[in-house]
Amino acid sequence: MGYGRGYGYIPAEPFRQTTPEEERDYLEAVVRNLEEELKAVRAQIERLQSKP
């Protein structure tokens, strides 16, 4: 359950220090989400540019 663009990340246990692995996994997920958003925006731009 995300809040978009990586905001609102809440670790499973509040006030627990995240491990480097958890932080890496989280950041990799953020990157994947942003890449998907970018693809969608590029596709939308292409559709708009191809309209007569």
Give per-10-residue mean pLDDT for the chain (52 aa): 54 75 95 97 96 80
Please give the single-letter amino acid code of residue 12.
Answer: A
What's the pTM value of the predicted model, to 2 decimals? 0.61
Torsional sign, CA 9, 12, 17, 22: negative
**What pLDDT is attached to residue 11?**
59
How many beta carbons lie within 10 A of that of residue 9, not counting itself?
13
Q: Which residues does 26 contact at the CB level (< 8 Å), separation at least 6?
A: 9, 18
